Structure formats: C-alpha cells, structure tokens
Structure 1
C-alpha cells in the first residue's frame, strides 16, 4: 500500500514544474505574434455582458428609477472580458497608477455612453438622471461636462455628450464646463474610495463609543417599582412603572414571559457566572416564543440571565404571506422569515434599545431586532446550540443598526447576522464555534474591529451581496475554514491577524484595499477571486502558509502599490538582492521557495527568465496568476508574527494597532487580552 509523503509529493511537483516551464516557454515563443489585435476595432457590446466595476448592490437600489450613471466599456489588449465601468470617474481613477495596464494590457478601444437626446438632468436629491437608451461614442470623440451639480452616490458625475452643443446646453442648466477627453483623464476627482473608508474607520469607532455612552445615560433612571415588593411579576411591574423609570428585579428565578410597551429600564442583579449563580437574576420562559418582547423606544435591559426560549428560528408563514403574485424576492423573504423567530429578547419597532450584562441560553436567537430597533449591546453573552443547524443567531439585526462591544457568542448558527443594518459596529467581542462569526448581508458602512474568532465552521467574517464602505480591521481569526471573505465595493480590510485557517482571506471585494494583514500558517494564505482585479493588496505579511496565495480565472493580479509590495516568506532566497526580483506566489516554482529553498536554482534558470520576459505579451501565460513586482525584504509586522509563532505564542487575540496608524487612538476600549503592537506606515 502506498503511503502519501507531503515532502515527496512537493518535490515531485517541483520537478514537474521545471518540465512545464520549458514546455510553456516553447509554446509561448511560437505563438507570441500569432494575432495582431489592431487589425480590427471591436464594436460596443451590451453593457450587461461586460464585467462591471464601480457599483454596489445598495447603489443599484439607490439608482433605481430615473437616476443613472454614465457608463464606459473598455476592450483591453490582454483581457478576454469587456470591462464595464459605472461612471466616467471610475474609469479615470482606474488608470492613474498604471496598475490597470500592467494587469489588463493597453486599452484597444473605450466607448462612453452619451446623453444628447435623453433629457439629462437631476433628481430631487441631486442624482444624475436621464431617460431612454443612450448611444456609445469613442471616449476621445465625446464632449464632457465637468463640475456640474449632477452627483452620483460616490461624488461628482462627469456627463458625456456626442455633440458640443448638447453638452453646452446641459452646462447652461446645471453649471460646469465643457471639456475634451484629455482634460477629463488628467482631472482630479474627489470621490469615495477604500482609502476614504480607511480614514473613516477611527471615526466609526468613536461614534460607537458615543452611542454606548448615550445608552448608559438612557438606562440610568430612578427606581419606581421593585418586583416582589410592589408587583408580583416582572410583567406586572413593567405595566405599573411610569415611563423613564427603573423596574428593579432582585436576585432569583422568574418563570414568565415579559412584554415591554413603555420606555423603562428593567434592572436585574446581574447575569451571574457561566450558568448564573445565587446572586443572579434569571428570567425563564416556558419554552415557546420569545422570553422578553420589546415594543417601545428607549428600553434598557440590564443584569439578567434569560433562558426558556422557543426553538422556532424563522416563520415560513410570514414569508409566504408577504409574497406578491410573482413569488416575492429572496431579500424580502429572508427578512420576514428570519425576523419572526424566537429569541431571548425580541425588539419590534423599538429604537434605542440598551442591552447590558445580559446572558441568553437559547435554541434560537439571543437578541432579535427588526423594524428599526437600533440597539447597543455591551457584555452580551449568547450560548447557542452545539450543532449550528439546530440553532440560530446570537444577534439577528433586520433593518436595525446594532452596536456590539465586549460580548461573547458561542455555538449556534451565526454569532451576529445583520441584514440591511448600515452603520453597525461590532468590536472587542469573541466568537467561538459558530457557522459564521459575523455575517453581513446588504449591510454597508459598518465597522467590524478588534474581535477574536475561533473554530468558525465556515468563516470568521463574511460579507455577502455587494454592500459598500465596510471596514474590517484588527480582527484575529484562527482555526476556521476561512478568516475573512468580504464581497462588495470600497471595502477596507486591514491589520487583521489570520492564523491556522484553511484560507486566510479572499479578495472578493472590488475597488477595495487589503493591507497590513498578518497571514500565518494557513493552508492557503489568500485567494484572488474576482475575474477583473480592481483592488490593492499591499503591505501584508505571508509566513508559514502551505501556499501563500492562488488565483481563479482572470487577468494577472499585481499585488503592490507603487514601490511597496507584500512580504512573502521565501521570496528573497537566492543570489539576488532582496526585492530585486518579482515574486509570483501562483508559480509552482516561486510558490515552493519557502518550503524548498533549493527551488531558487529553477527560478534562476534560462527557461524561467524567458517566461518572465514573455509575461505581459502572452495572455495564456498570465491567466489566473498573481505577481508582486517589489516583494518586501522584511516583514512589516514582525512583532505580530512573533506573537503567534514564537515560544510565548498562545491563543489570546493579537490585534494590529490600526487606530494609531490612522489617527484614531482616542476613545479606545482595550481588553486585557489585547497585546500592544508596533505601527507600520499606511499604504498611501
């Protein structure tokens, strides 16, 4: 019986890679000039057939109706896809640093959508609008109105026209000036980007701190009713309490369900230890429905342990009743189905909810928020089911913004699930043995920061659909299927520590920035997943991974920013000076350098050097590959690497000091397990 030896298998793959290099060099040389792309000029395609950049799903909804954005479609010399840009500014911005041409080749032809006979104008909110179908004009032949009052979701809109007269007429009505393409492509535009999200992340942290302070003030009310003295039950005490007062609940077990229809604080004696103690306040339901239901604004729940929830995780009847004759939408059905399950605390139309020092033992959700029940949660502990299929979410937020800090979520389906909960903040919390730790759907402008994720079945942080403007920073994810998988646009993923996962992170978000992440001892450090690369990946440390990175189908991905690349363990072995040779983690040879230093002999071979020269002229030699032209000579964050690999390494969270790096060190909430780290310079 054959025994699998990883070292032998890798050596065999390395030998095969040498043969492949020689064979590929021969094929590439024979076919390098087989076709001349200049022999014909491609015609415009249907924009829906292009690979589109520049819009999120939330922007799609915002732009529904008359609002629109001028579009550009570009045929690149070394890309088999037509790239569609939503917004002229998006196309201009993509060409500033030369990365696009390095990855896609030069533009064979670019067409812009023109608006001569489409009644161009603006909506009541100032968004650019037009009617009917537009034509496509080569970008160099069009005339553009810049500086008008027409806006898009991310800033200024440049409006193209085929004829100068039509452009002048629009400028007369909406301001601005008429210019040619040369003036547009060299113009600087003030638009939102992933770098903008990076700069806003510390402010989001401060905003969360302000929300928590305001919540503490709301919860601090004079006592009006004491359960057991002035009323026999918590429910009766709430009914008797005047608004803006406190119902005090002494230690003990209260077997009841509670409905809160007025703005009061319900203050228990504390949640107690892991399962409560003699001094704790316990509220135990009858095993059906939710234990505490809140239907009033500015309610506070403090110092209690909740158990006895029902096990209904969703309400299929609510989803069915909502459907229109065409069957409704997936989005609507999820909101209605997920938002009508059982929970320890369920809030319906109850903004300003405060949850502090509350523990929930549940077979369904811990805290369920819907219909604008914006909430803060501090010291929330949710203990879910052992098998994720049997339970539900620690926090379910449906169209309800949540601010969570210093909390813990163990077991169940997702630690925190947010659906259309823009502006939420999840920080300084711990997630263990969930399906997903933090799971965002249609949720943008959120901050997920300084959390610890352990043993997550699918991923630590997952962002699905295409939201915009999320910041995922300073998190520590270990021993999970994936560390961070975030889709959307303008996402900032920085200063995370990703250790011992099957996958560290994927570059699923478009127009985004991945920087200063420490990616150590994963089976795969990073995966490039978008067909058309439009994000920056820079100043990350890749150490000890089985494979540092791989890429799906698509153009060459250039992971660097100017003269700054990433640190790749093994990239600088060999006779050349550090950083003097590009590193390709997707190459069988380069990818083996940190495991087999002897592979440097293959890397310096004539066949390998020939392939280096041919890359960029032969599309087949570039597809599905990653290149770092300036790999760093030393790690950017050696202290964080030592903290997870050194003799004193343990499971405690290691967090990058992202707030100091970006001017937001104030108002910190630091837990004892946080290890201070040195700060490296930003990506720009």
Structure 2
C-alpha cells in the first residue's frame, strides 16, 4: 500500500537502518511516530499528533472557524515524526525542493483528508469550508478538484475526495475539474513562501514613507486656540478647539491631564505636561489626532489591569489572548489611545514606569521621533509602546529601560524601523502579529532578545537590524518569516531558526557565544549565505531530523571550514560535529577532521537516521564571506568605536530603478544619528 515505492534493495536498507535505530533505543518524543519496519504502510494518525508544516493554522479565518484547509500527513523513511502539511500544495512543493528527501528520506506513504460527506462549500469570501471530521485516503487513491472558486488563506485550494462522484458534484457547483494524484503532483502551485516576503520587504518600507507623509498632512492644521491666551489649560483648549484645527502649547510646565475627543493637532514648543502620578496623562478618544513637540511625565504606575479576566498561564489559549489584551491594555500611559485611528505622535518624549504610548482597539498610529525612558529594571516598568489590535508605523525613535521597547499584539502590517532600543527585556516583541517589517533598528544590551516574535504569525520580515550584547539577537516563530541582512554581534545567541517555512540569509553572525540554534523538530526553512565568524560555537541543534543548511550549491560561510588539506568547496561542513565545530578554535581539530574515525562517522550519519538526529550539515560551505565589509567593520581596527551597521538591503531587494540608485552608494551604512534626533531636541 506504500504509494511512494522504491527499489527493493533501497527499501531493505531503509528497514535495516530503522531497525538498527530502534535497537539502539531511539524513543520518539510527544507527537512522534516510529513506523514498525515490518509494516510497509502505516495507518494514518490523528492530525494533532503530526508535526505541522505549510500554512500556519493561526490564520484568523481558521481560528474563527470560517475556513477549512485540506491537509496531508506523510510518513518519511528516515524520520520518526509524521509530518502534517496544511495545504496540498505545501506537500507537492516539498517533493521537488531538493532538501526534503535529504533531510527526511523519501515519503513511504501519504494520506490526504477527504471531504465526501462533510458539506464542502465556500464562505462569502470564497474560502473553502467543511463540517465534521474527515477520513484519510492514500494520495494516489483520491480524486482532486482543481481550479474551482474555492481558496484558502494561502491561495488556491485543491480539494480531495474519496469518490469521483463526490468530486464531480463539488466541481459542478464550484467550477474546476477533477484530476488524479499524478496531475496534482505535476501541477505548479503558487505557494506563499518566505521568498515572497523577501520581495515584499522594500514595498513595506515605501508604505511606511507613505504613511508618514499622510501623517504630516493630517497634522498640518490652522491654529485655533493658544493655551494661556485663549484658554487657561491644555485640556480646556482642546475642548474648545474646533475639529481639524491646531492647539498651540507655549513653553512651560503644565500640571494637568488631558482628554482629546476631537480630531485636532496639539503642538508644543518646549512644553511639558506633568501628571499627578495617577492614570494616563493624555487620553485620546477621537480619530486623526496629532500630538507634537511635547514632554510628558507624571504617569501613573499601573502597568496593567489586575482585574482582567482569563488565565495568563497558557500562551496559546484564547483565554490567555483575552487576558493580555484586556490586562496589558488596561494600564497607565503617557499617551493612551482608545479607538482612535489615524493617531500621529511626533517629537514627543515620555518618562514613565508604566507604558509610554498605549494603543487599543484599532488606534492605528504613525510614530516618529518618540523617546520613552522607562524604569531602570525591567521588572519595575512596562512597555515603551504597547499596540493592541492597532497597526503602528514607528520610525526614528528611541526606547530605553523598562520591560519591552515595543510590544505589539495582533497588530498586523506594523512597521518598526530606524529606531534604537537599549536596556530592555526585549527590544521589539511581536505576538500574533504578521506581515510586519522590523528593519534597520539598533539594539543594545537587551536581557532576553533584540527582536522576538512569539505565537504563530506569518509573513514577517526582519531585516537590516544591528543587535549586540544581548541575550539573543533574533528569535522569531511563525511561518514564512524572512530574516536577512542583520548584523548580530557579541550576543549569547545570534539567531534561532524557530520559524517554519522561512528564509534566513545574508546575516553576519560574529563573536556570539552561539551563532545560531536550530530549534524546529522537523526542519522546513532555508538557511543560506550567512557569515559565521568568531563565535564560540557557530551552530547547535536540538532533537529532530538532519538540517541541511544550503540552497543547491550555495551554502554559508563558516570560519574554519576552509582550513586543512582540503578547501571548503571539497568537503561538507557540520557545525554540530565536535570536530568541525572546533576547526576555527583548535588547531588539532584539523588533523582529527581527516582521521579514519571521523570519515567513518560521516558515513554513518549519512545512512542511519538516529546518528543524524540533532545535527546540521552544510554540503556547500562558501570559501569566502558574503559580506566581508560588514565583518571587517565589526572586527577590524576601531570597530569598538564604530556606530551601528545596517546593510543596504533595499539596494539588493528593491525594484531595478531603486537598486541602481542605491548601488551608487556604499552597501554598508554606518549609522551615526539613530536615536539622537530626540536628544538633540532636548528629550531628557
């Protein structure tokens, strides 16, 4: 019944290899399945027991129960885990990607979820939907409807049925045709991948420019009220100002709190608003409000609502989600916005032990030149900027001290760029937030990580950031994440490959205790064209299948891989091998590398799955660094005095006209003014 049959000799070798591993006592962890070598075709398992790849099930339509994603489960010859693919196209793409078979072995059998008696339909938005639990059918025994009007959150939907009659009935109602497995396997799918996110990143930068330009137009309004001349206080002036006008706040200290219920601009020139230490200082409850040129202190110390309902102990539960939104969104802030879309915050400085700027309920905002000074220890403070279901565009800002510099929760499409984060717990912290851009930021001395993305979002781009002296440089989960052109220096960990179906490329990873850590049990990401130099250990891997860190004949640059009698292009490099891992640190490792025992171990890794577990191989290590100029800038003379570095990734990834213009400049930019605009205007 195995639908992917191989020659008998190879099958025999595989069964012997699996039996050998089982004899050695390899134990599958939770959610794993080890096929009985006596069985040619294992039965399908509950989908919750698979390790999922493909489209994240975290999509809002799926979570809300409005869509159904056809699924596949696959048993591989050299993998003890059953792999679940969300979307038929995700599995078919893996059959020809050049990496899956090397990492997992060949697919012994694959099953698809079929929808014969599940009322298959489409939603008002055209998403495929079905009721009840489906059965599992071998992929070559199913009938597939392609080209119908049904789609999934990732694109085209291929709908499997056990019987041809059921498939034809669905096609009659929704269009398309009925085909067999061979046709589906040969079909080209537009799989939404991390490469697509790479192509979108420059456009997101341009979108930020457009949002900022629109914010400037919003804030440019005629003066209607001057505090001290036309009204005794800022709050009174705002209440008296007509909509779409400007309130001017002259220099001075104003001991009050302000509520904004109209679409007005509040602009100060050296003015400071000082609250009484209770509650928020400025509360915005109107659309298209602009706040400019103010200094704010006297914020209350309540960081969250202690009465918020929900269990905060489970990071994946709906109760936890609700707790965070109501709890984190219920604290004090220098500026709190509630249901206030179109907010503009420009040239503002806030001193607080709670939140600096708190956005709730669709308070989409453009933030420029904001400085937030938080608590000296993160346990005593909160977020510089908190965004709850509110898309933000942050540029040229600085966040120092407190819990997290920026915390965004369900804030899809947000952009954080050209900003500085220092002495926080996390610099940029995203939760349930996808399609974001985190670019060209400078991060220093963060306790846990410079950039971290938790839960299971999709489509984030983390590019061009410079993270140093932190617990970790970048830790991003989710799917279809693009992590590239970052400079990660002197951290405990450079980056982790926690995101699935993602692309990690052109990162410079220098002088970290550990350069990179492979964390997903079933690898599905590409790690290529990165430079690993001067790390105590270049890379490590947890339990799971062999990770192949290369893309065809292009691998990564590993300092030490090219030492010894053979150059790096003549030998694979294994950063998780005790011998290879020591090549850049121990001269004696060069001799051990060529010993008969090392050669035998290499061969064993290639044949016995258990001997490959928790390992990384680069079959095509580069002989020269990909970004030598950035490496020189962080390791050469005077590097300790150099400013942050940001690779000119837009010159590489943008449209042809932008690339040509950008290439006329240097490809590495040393930032000397990030985060200093605020100080030059007296933000202290």
- TM-score, normalised to structure 1's length? 0.90
Query: Structure 1 stretches (4+) deviating beyond 6 angstroms?
Result: 27-30, 32-36, 665-668
SS at match of 1:232: coil
Q: Does 1:520 align with 2:521?
A: no
Query: 1:261 and 2:258 equivalent?
Result: no
1:575 aligns with 2:562: no
Q: Which residue of 2 aligns with 1:621?
A: 611
Structure 1 spans left out of the alignment, 5+ residues: 1-26, 270-279, 679-684
Cross-structure match for 2:576? 586
Residue 268 of structure 1: SS of its match in structure 2? strand
Q: Give distance in 1, aligned partners of 2:435 and 2:18.
A: 49
Q: Which moved more, 1:337-346 or 1:591-600?
A: 591-600
Partner of 2:205: 205
Q: How far apart are the structure 2 equivalents of 1:52 and 1:451?
A: 32
2:18/2:37 contact within 8 Å kept: no
Name the SS of the counterpart of 2:574 in structure 1. coil
Q: Give distance in 2, aligned partners of 1:191 and 1:29.
A: 32
Partner of 2:103: 103
Match of 2:649 in 1: 658
1:40 is displaced (CA, Å) by: 3.3
Residues 127 and 30 of structure 1, relative CA distance in 2, 3 Å threshold: closer
- Residue 242 of structure 2 is matched in structure 1 by 242
> Equivalences for 1:405-420 in 2 at 5 Å?
405-420=395-410
CA contact (8 A) 1:257 1:292 kept: yes
Matches within 5 A, 1:242-321: 242-269=242-269, 280-319=270-309
- C-alpha separation in 2, matches of 1:36 and 1:363: 58
Displacement of 1:29 = 13
Distance 2:655 2:439 in 1: 13
Aligned-pair CA distance for 1:168: 1.9
Report whether the alignment pairs 1:604 with 2:586. no
Residue 239 of structure 1 and its aligned partner are, at CA, apart by: 1.0
What displacement does 1:57 show?
Answer: 5.0
- Of the three residues 398, 419, 434, the one matched with 1:444 is 434
Partner Cα separation in structure 2 for residue 630 and residue 543 of structure 1: 17
**Deviation, structure 1 residue 63:** 5.1
Partner of 2:137: 137
Q: Secondary structure at the match of 2:647?
A: coil
Question: Which of 207-216 and 52-61 deviates more?
Answer: 52-61
Which residue in 1 is equivalent to 2:178? 178
1:480 to 460, 467, 470: 470
Matches within 5 A, 1:633-644: 633-644=623-634
Q: Distance in 1 between matches of 2:59 and 2:230?
A: 53
Structure 1 residues 281-323: Cα deviation after superposition (integer angstroms, max 9, x where no partner): 111000110111111111110001000000000011243799x
2:517–2:539 Cα contact (<8 Å) kept: yes
- 2:420 is aligned to 430
Higher mean C-alpha deviation, range 115-124 or range 75-84 = 115-124
Decide whether the 8 Å contact of 1:28 with 1:621 is kept in 2: no
C-alpha displacement of 1:563: 0.8
Q: Retained in 2: the 8 A contact 1:72–1:84? A: yes
CA distance in 2, matches of 1:95, 1:591: 31
Deviations 1:197-221 (A, max 9, x none): 1111111111111000100111011
Aligned partner of 2:88 in structure 1 is: 88
Supply the distance in 2 between the matched residues of 1:69 and 1:551 (Cα, whole angstroms).
Answer: 31
SS at match of 2:59: helix
Tell me whether 1:493 sits opposite 2:472 in the alignment: no
**Aligned equivalents of 2:212, 2:536: Cα separation in 1:** 42
Contact 2:504–2:527, Cα closer than 8 Å, also in 1: yes
The whole-number CA distance in structure 2 between the counterparts of 1:301 and 1:521 is: 42
Instruction: Write the deviation string for residues 25-78 of structure 1: whole angstroms up to 9, x where unpaired.
Output: xx9999489899364321111111111112325316535425211111111111
Deviation, 1:598, is 2.8
Contact 2:311-2:323 at 8 Å conserved across structures: no
Number of aligned residue pairs:
634
Q: 1:666 to 1:387 in 2, by over 3 A?
A: farther
Shift of 1:665: 8.7
Contact persistence 1:37–1:77 (CA under 8 A): no
Distance 2:398 2:390 in 1: 20
Inter-CA distance 247–28: structure 2 relative to 1 (3 Å threshold): same
Match of 1:682 in 2: none
Q: Matched residue of 2:568: which SS?
A: coil
Q: Identify the residue that residue 677 of structure 2 maps to in structure 1.
A: none
Give 1:267 deviation, angstroms: 0.5
* Residue number in structure 2 paired with 1:23: none
Give secondary structure in 2 for the equivalent of 1:545: coil
**1:44 equivalent in structure 2:** 44
1:106 Cα deviation (Å)? 1.1
- C-alpha displacement at 1:465, in angstroms? 0.5
Cα 1:139/1:29, change in 2 over 3 Å: closer
Confirm or deny: 8 A CA contact 2:561 2:567 kept in the other structure.
no
Matched, 1:72 2:33: no
Greater relative contact order: 1 or 2 (C-alpha under 8 angstroms, separation 6 or more)? Answer: 1
Asked whether the 8 Å contact 1:209–1:667 carries over to 2, the reply is no
Which string of whole-angstrom CA distances, capped at 9 and with x for unpartnered residues, describes residues 390-409 of structure 1?
11000000111110000000
Maintained 8 Å contact 2:57/2:86: no
- 1:143-188 Cα offsets, whole Å, 9 max, x none, are 2111111100111111111222222222222122222211111211
Aligned to 1:371: 361
Query: What per-residue deviation string (whole Å, max 9, x for no partner) do you get for residues 333-377 of structure 1?
Result: 110011110010000111111000000011101000001111111
Q: 2:19 & 2:504 partners in 1: Cα distance?
A: 38
The 3 A distance-change label for structure 1 pair 126 and 596 is same
Query: Alpha carbons of 1:29 and 1:337: their partners in 2 closer, same or farther (altered >3 Å)?
Result: closer
Contact persistence 2:310–2:322 (CA under 8 A): no
Taking the aligned partners of 1:31 and 1:200, their CA distance within structure 2 comes to 47
8 Å CA contact 2:310, 2:319 repeated in 1: no
2:535 to 531, 541, 545: 545
Q: Which moved more, 1:36-45 or 1:463-472?
A: 36-45
Post-superposition offset of 1:98:
2.2
- Tell me whether 191-200 or 523-532 shows the greater mean CA deviation: 191-200
Cα distance change of structure 1 residues 211 and 32 upon mapping to structure 2, 3 Å threshold? closer
Rounded Cα–Cα distance in structure 1 between residues aligned with 2:18 and 2:574: 21
Answer yes or no: is the 8 Å Cα contact 1:459–1:483 preserved in 2: yes
Separation in 2, partners of 1:33, 1:461: 40
- Deviation of residue 410 (structure 1)? 0.2
Distance 2:145 2:470 in 1: 50
Q: State the Cα RMSD in Å.
A: 2.3
TM (norm. structure 2) is: 0.90
3-state SS in 2 of match to 1:457: coil
CA separation in 1, counterparts of 2:247 and 2:21? 80
Local SS of the residue matching 1:579: helix
